[in-house]
Amino acid sequence: MSEYKKRFLAPVKPMGLPWWLALMIVGVVFVAEYTGALSADLSGCFVLMLSIGIVCDEIGERIPFWNTYIGGGIVMTYIVSAFLFTYKVIPDKYAKGINTLMDDSDFLSFFIIFLIVGSVLALDRKMLIRSFAGYLPAIFGGLIGASLLGVLGGLIFGVNPINVLIKYMLPIMGGGNGAGAVPLSQIYQTVTGDPAANYYTFAITILTIANVFAIISGALLKKLGTKKTTWTGGSGDKAELMRDGGVIVTEDKDVKPSMKDLGGAFLLGLAFYALGRLFAKVILPTIGGAPIHQFAYMIIFVAIVAATGIVPDNIRAACKTLQNFFVKNLILIIMVGVAVDTNINELIAAITPANMVIALLIVIGAIVGSALVGYWVGFYPIDSAITAGLCMANRGGSGDLAVLGAADRMGLIAYAQLSSRLGGGIVLIIGSVMFGAFLK
């Protein structure tokens, strides 16, 4: 039996439930949503997002070509949800509720906290130090590659190289929307005196196009990894960046976290987030004039604690278990939540040959540059390309999750966040210099 037939005929058990029970749940939720009986609070939004997600996920994982090269159920959930919200198939009541959940309550950050803590604490201490030391060169490799191929694309369509770097490369590689396009537009206004919206409108559009290319590229690199197994350190939550290994497999250590251990891991993750916020907002909010994101600080502090070995094995195992729970069960909520802010009509309107080709070449340049430099510093090229390349060329935290989901490399979330946060900070510094040099 072919791989496609196996995946198409695989048992339908959404989130471990029998198909008929899952179908009943989805039916009840959709009827409640259609009649308006479903609440738009945390509980109502969660069950609606999961219901949309499990349907799209089961379908997306069974469509030939799509499930292998486009991103499977994760990407299907994102695109279908974007259509549902753009064309008001889902009433505004629930769109506003989901926006409140994702933006005001910041469920995305809550999700990322436990992915970071679980992935970093699972790294071997020696490999942790070596991998973090080599990561900045891999990021710069991606930036250089993106710049070179982006300029090449601009020359093809008669776009000035400086304009390519300022209008295309900076927003695409800037760490997403909130950490990249928004502060870049604010810097633009400060330097030029023009309204920030004049820069932001195009920046967010070209970033959205590149984000789609980045997600698809993640799926393609996943497929390449199945063919070139020596180019990658594996998939899922056990994915490795360093070529000579470095992930602790807690099952081999016979560490079985208890319920109290999970509570301790939960508290530890939130405490690291509080520490990151303290430094980002009060103690040291900027370095060299560039704002430092709380997740960047959080990763640094988790890495320091992991390197010291002061966290006991049972809590480290519990952190990894929490990470697995979030990745395997709640990623669909994130995909639906991210899609609320994606306007399909605006995306289609921006799909011109020049924008498409330049954005694609920037993404390819980020892949090639980070893969080559990553291999030079001791990383697997595919995993370096996914984290130091694609996770620079997407929409920040939500883009990281979409790319890692499509690539099946969720275990590398800490490196992805380094790209979005520290790498994004580097791009803001570059942007400040370029705006001052060329736009004054």
Q: Which mean pLDDT values do the consecutive 10-residue runs of the chain (440 residues) have?
A: 52 85 95 95 95 92 76 81 92 93 85 84 73 86 97 95 95 80 79 79 84 92 93 84 62 73 96 94 81 79 87 91 86 85 78 93 97 94 95 84 89 85 80 81
Count of C-beta atoms within a 10 Å radius of residue 102 = 23
Return d(Cα 239, Cα 422) in angstroms, integer: 21
> Are 140 and 430 in contact, with CB atoms under 8 Å apart?
no
The pLDDT assigned to 10 comes to: 62
pTM score, two decimals? 0.72
| Residue type present at position 203 | A
How far from each other are the two terminal CA atoms of the chain, in whole angstroms?
64
- Side chain identity at residue 426, one-letter code: I
| CA 142/CA 217 separation, integer angstroms | 14
pLDDT for res 198: 78
Rounded Cα–Cα distance for residues 22 and 253 (Å):
36
Please give the Cα distance from 204 to 341 (Å, whole number).
11
Distance CA 379, CA 359 (A): 26
Rounded to the nearest 10°, the torsion over CA 146, 212, 391, 199 is 60
Residue 14's pLDDT is: 85
Query: Counting beta carbons within 10 angstroms of the beta carbon of residue 191, is it exposed (0 to 12), middle (13 to 18) or buried (19 or more)?
Result: middle
Total number of residues shown for the chain:
440
CA distance 304 to 310: 10
Q: What token pair was written down for 245?
A: 């290994």
